[in-house]
Structure 1
Amino acid sequence: MSTPSALVRPTGIPLTHRLGAHLVLPLARLLARLPPRHITTVLGFLRGRAAAATPRQAQAARDAVCAVSLRCAGPQGCLPRSLGTALLCRLWGAWPTWCTGVRMVPPFAAHAWVEAGGRPVGEGVPDDYFSRLLVVDPARGGAQLPPDRAGSAVRDVP
């Protein structure tokens, strides 16, 4: 016997965000098939000198990716979802912190997610729920702004 479950997909996502998600998801799915070191190398190149994504930007990108892809909205879609979210943020000129790691509480499980403002975006868990193993954060010394100015100068969701 199986437990019934329903996926909650975001609604009311602007057309431009959904089109952007459709644009980046093929690349996200391709990247998800690569070994971890290749993923981090490609993401490190793609982030360039982009500004750090705000939590609002990262959540909007995550919502758009989940709205257009049933696989990404599902419980086993964390890697393509996180990659798609990071790539969509990059399309908007920002970069979240992309992470992979493990749960800190049993049962053991690997997971991939994005963070903005030092917190997991859209995960619904405490900040210390995951332990990071691989991280691609916004470029140091690039377009990152000091914390006191980041809210006013970082480009917001298009």
Structure 2
Amino acid sequence: MAEQLAPIKALLEAPRDHLAGTDMWIKLPLGRTLINEVLAARPPDTPVKDLFMDPDPGNLIHIHLEAAAPVVGSIRRRLTFKPGPAVTFPDQPWLHLDITEGFKFMDKPVIRLLQSTIEKKLPKGIEFSSDYLRIHVPAMLTKAGYQKLVPLIRHLEIRGGDDQIILLFHLKA
């Protein structure tokens, strides 16, 4: 098995060397099952007890969550996200998702009140407010060990689809 992974490892360690001349657009549909398996693999010390995603063909993404919240105890919400504009490198490296519905009457003031606590709990490169979720794509790729891929990405876009999320990206080496 290790021998089969050697070419992939070499590609990830020196992508420019192995992908020189590449200029491609990729449409990558990610099914609900795969995404929910990734979400379930979060660290055990997070306040999130349950988290799963439900894509919508109307370019919306529904996130169902149950979390332990200070003072109020356990909360359950279904938040609806609308993906923002495409990420372009190096100009606009943030993947932005607007929260269009899902918070109850007192949720937004509580989130604003606890904003500094929330920021300390989130990994570097993820911003969450009562209005949006933002992900700094280069920071997340670097944290995952794929820093050398960052300069090759020219465009990254996320869309909600029928039972899947669709990633569109442009790679150029």
TM-score by length of 2: 0.25
Task: Report the structure number with the largest CA radius of gyration.
Answer: 2
Q: Which has the higher strand share?
A: 2
Tell me the TM-score normalised to structure 1 length.
Answer: 0.27
